[in-house]
Chain A
Amino acid sequence: MVKVLIPSGALGLGYDRNALARGIAQNPDIIAIDGGSTDSGPHYLGTGTSKYSRGSTKAEWRELMAARAHAGVPLVIGTAGTCGADSAVDWLVDITREIAAETGETLKLAVLKSGQDGAAMVRALAEGHITPLAPSSEVTPDLLQDCTNIVALAGAEQIQAALDTQADIIIAGRTTDTAIISALPLARGCHAGGVWHGAKIGECGALATTSPNSGTILIEFDDTGFTITPMGEDARATPHTVSAHMLYENSDPFVLYEPGGHLDVTGATYTALDDHRVRVTGSKWVKSDRYTVKLEGARQAGFQTVSLVLVRDAHYVKNIQAWCDDIATKCAAKVNDRLQGDFALELRIIGADATLGALETTVRTGSEVGVLGIVTAETEALSREVAKMLNPYLLHHPLTEQEEMPTFAFPFSPPELPRGSVYEFCLNHVLTLNDPMDAFRLTVEEIGT
């Protein structure tokens, strides 16, 4: 049997300290935590930076390092620094060194990097090793070279290689959410279907229980399946909370693709062992012919400057769409007359259809609306220039020439807020590998000495 302790769904999200302490008292074989996801958008992979504050990350990582020292087992984090790019891994390694120096610990640290070189990706494309996933998008050598970061998602094999170094702490770049949980039980011969299924159930911490905020759960893997036990005092796992978690952020609730195969939970049975533990058996792991890893890439998509104006005048609120359309047309014409370069101008009406846009079916405006002017341009300077040309319209534009000049509410001076460079995800592909370690780099170092 292998016991995996999962402190929470992500480092930086917080967890219940008592629940973590109860988990450590269960003598886990490994502590595994996720460090990120694509869910917060392309900025993080684009820039290779973390979403969470350094202070929060350091405070939580210090506690997990102390828990690890107490338990005497490996601590592994996947997708370090939100995006798992090499620079985000370096960021967490730096924090780890700092903590070790402060606590006086001497530790063996294994670092797994998932970043991909653009030129190597161009060669892989030419050799036919890069294949699109649905919904398919075209990939070209130029696009691969344009990415500021490309990462490959490591699976269980690469984490196992890191575990084989006997490291105390493993900091991994981009991995699948499940790989850090599945690696050790798979290496020790636990039921593969049960391992991947349990890893998927456990990857968000206590989200698969009645008390998501308690964070910590323990999963025990064995020869036929897995058992999930929440560590929060009032948290319960029920057959419903556990089986329903397969729905979460998963386009297919029965099948999950991983490097080297896929999980099929169609035949899984969920049994309540008591009022808070659930046992799961009957999940299948289906090995694939090729070993593939998913790629994620982000590229620069221009520069943005946004402006916000508030409209409270009832006549203008009522006619806000016409007002915005008129401004967009007149401002774009002025920009084209006075400036050179590609730009896009959008006025998004907050309080009408800002969230759903063209999909909105029930627009009901209230006593006021906000108008968010979004300028995206090929240079930062142009995005600011266009936003400044938009300014007089947002401040004073009349619905008709026959009315007195209106004035609207700017909450700030200046109303233009530069957003800098913006990014977009541009890869939805897999990379075929001969050897799982081909696209990854593993190094080991002593820290705190």
Chain B
Amino acid sequence: MTHLSDIAVKIRSKNAGPFWLTIDIFCGTPDAFQRVSSGLKSNDVAALFHTDFNQLKRFDIADLNVVKFSMPRPAVQGTRADRDMHGASFAALLADVEI
């Protein structure tokens, strides 16, 4: 059983403005990129973040060995329901995903 954090060099999540969250998975090598790109399913990511699959944007960027996801923020930044102002902790959710 391999977790995404065992393959990726770094997983980063950040706000992209108050309404969007963006997550960058830096894979480091073409091999790791291939494993993540083919092994990580968009519908699983949407389910992990309780987000609408149709609103999830995905970019597989071979030149950078990066897989990137963007989605509406789970709660709009700074509202009562928001727990992480800068959105950096959401990356941890992906770390444990099995590939």
A residues at B contact (CB < 8 Å): 38-43, 133-135, 240, 243-244, 247-254, 296, 301-302, 344, 346, 348, 354-362, 374, 376, 422-425, 428
- Contact yes or no, B22 A424, CB < 8 A: no
Q: Are B64 and A355 in contact (CB under 8 A)?
A: no
With A252-B59, A359-B93 known, 9 other A-B pairs at CB within 8 A are A38-B77, A42-B78, A135-B20, A247-B24, A249-B15, A251-B16, A354-B83, A355-B92, A356-B89
User: A251-B16, A251-B57 given as contacts; is B64 within 8 A of A41 (CB)?
Assistant: no
Q: Are B64 and A357 in contact (CB under 8 A)?
A: no
Q: What chain A residues lie within 8 Å of B38 (beta carbons)?
A: none
The 8 A CB mask of B73-93 against A (1 = contact, 0 = none) is 010111111011110011011
B46 to A: closest C-beta gap in Å: 12
Which residues of B are found within 8 Å of A253, using beta-carbon distances? 59, 61, 68
Contact at A244–B83, with CB atoms within 8 Å? no
Contact A135 B72 (CB under 8 A): yes
Least CB distance from B42 to A in Å reads 15
- List residues 31-74 of chain B with CB under 8 A from any CB of chain A: 48-50, 55, 57, 59, 61, 63-64, 66, 68, 70, 72, 74
What residues of A have a CB within 8 angstroms of the CB of B72 in the complex?
134-135
Q: Which of A39, A301, A357, A358 contacts B86 (CB 8 A)?
A: A39
Known A-B contacts A240-B64, A253-B68, A425-B76; the reply to A355 vs B22 at CB < 8 A is: no
Q: Taking A41-B78, A253-B61, A423-B78 as contacts, is the C-beta distance between A247 and B68 under 8 angstroms?
A: yes
Contacts of A424 in B (CB 8 A): 76, 78-80
Interchain CB contact (< 8 A) of B84 among A133, A301, A355, A358:
A355
**Closest residue of B by beta carbon distance from A133:** B19
Tell me if B22 and A251 are in contact (CB < 8 A).
yes
Are A356 and B22 touching (Cβ within 8 A)?
no
Cβ-neighbour of B18 out of A361, A376, A425 (below 8 A) = A425
CB contacts (< 8 Å) of B17 on chain A: these are 38, 249, 251, 428
Q: Which residues of A contact B79 (CB under 8 A)?
A: 301, 424-425
Pick the residue among B19, B22, B78, B85 that contacts A249 (CB under 8 A): B22
CA distance A254 to B70 in the complex (A): 13
Contact A135–B85 (Cβ < 8 Å): no
Q: How far is the CA of A57 from the CA of B85 in the complex (A)?
A: 23
| A355 touching B78 in the complex, CB below 8 Å, given contacts A135-B19, A249-B16, A428-B19 | no
Interface residues of B (CB under 8 A from A): 14-20, 22, 24, 26, 48-50, 55, 57, 59, 61, 63-64, 66, 68, 70, 72, 74, 76-81, 83-86, 89-90, 92-93, 96
Q: B80: which A residues are within 8 A, CB to CB?
A: 301-302, 344, 346, 374, 376, 422, 424
Partner of B22, one of A134, A247, A346: A247
Residue of B15, B50, B55, B84 with most partner-chain A CB within 10 A: B15
- Bound-complex Cα distance A43 to B19 (A): 16
**Least Cβ distance of A279 to chain B in Å?**
16
Among B49, B59, B77, B92, the residue within 8 A (CB) of A425 is B77
**Do the beta carbons of A356 and B90 come within 8 Å of each other?**
yes
6 residue pairs of the A-B complex, CB under 8 angstroms, read A247-B66, A251-B16, A253-B68, A356-B93, A357-B81, A424-B78
Which 9 pairs, one residue from A and one from B, show the smallest C-beta to C-beta distance? A251-B70, A41-B78, A251-B16, A135-B72, A42-B78, A425-B18, A251-B20, A355-B89, A247-B24
Contacts of B76 in A (CB 8 A): 424-425
Contact call A135/B78, Cβ cutoff below 8 A: no
Contact A356 B92 (CB under 8 A): yes
A324 CA to B86 CA, complexed, in Å = 26
| Bound form: Cα–Cα A42–B77 in Å | 8
Asked whether, in the complex, the Cβ of A361 is within 8 Å of the Cβ of B19, the reply is no
**Interface pair A359/B78, CB less than 8 Å apart:** no
Alpha-carbon distance between A253 and B85 when the two chains are bound, in angstroms: 22
> Given A348-B83, A355-B83, A252 and B70 touching (CB < 8 A)?
yes
Q: Which residues of A contact B24 (CB under 8 A)?
A: 247-248
Which residues on the A side are within 8 Å of B22 (C-beta)? 247, 249-251
Q: How far is the CB of B30 from chain A (nearest CB, A)?
A: 13
Chain A: minimal CB distance from B51 (Å): 10
Bound complex: CA of A359 vs CA of B59, how far in Å? 23
Q: Are A252 and B48 in contact (CB under 8 A)?
A: no
Determine the residue in chain A with the shortest Cβ distance to B89.
Answer: A355
Closest A-chain residue to B64, C-beta based? A244
Residues of B within 8 A of A374 (CB): 80
**What residues of chain B lie closer than 8 Å to A251, measured between beta carbons?**
16-17, 20, 22, 57, 70
Known contacts A249-B15, A249-B16, A376-B80; decide if A359 and B57 are in contact (CB<8 Å). Answer: no
Do residues A247 and B78 form an inter-chain contact, with CB atoms below 8 A?
no
Pick the contact of A357: B20, B83, B92 (CB < 8 A): B83
The answer, among B57, B66, B83, B86, for a CB contact under 8 Å with A252, is B57
Q: Which residues of A contact B55 (CB under 8 A)?
A: 134-135
A424 to B19, CA, bound (A): 11
Q: How far is the CA of A302 from the CA of B78 in the complex (A)?
A: 13
